[in-house]
Amino acid sequence: MTKKKILLLFLQCCDFFSFVLEQFGAIVTAVASKDEALQVLIQSKPDILLIAILGCQK
């Protein structure tokens, strides 16, 4: 089975989510800004993009 490449864009808890996903065999790249995320998207073309939007209100 091929390892999935995951781009993780979180402002908090990045280490926890990276650890859990890596335990399931994923290759995780964690970034903390949209600019970093765009650069990684262009360069490594991850299979999955996980984004946490925290603190949003209506």
Residue 46 domain-assigned (yes or no): yes
- What residues make up the domain containing 42? 5-51
Residue 58 domain-assigned (yes or no): no
What confidence score (pLDDT) does residue 52 get? 75
Residue 42 domain-assigned (yes or no): yes
pTM of the model: 0.71
Res 57 pLDDT > 60: no
- Per the structure, the count of domains in the chain is 1
Instruction: Give the pLDDT confidence of 20-36 residue by residue, as tens digits.
Output: 889 999 999 988 888 88
Q: Percent of the chain, pLDDT > 70?
A: 83
Residue 57 domain-assigned (yes or no): no
Burial 19-47 (b: 16+ CB within 10 A, else e): eebeeeebebbbbeeeeebeebeeeeebe
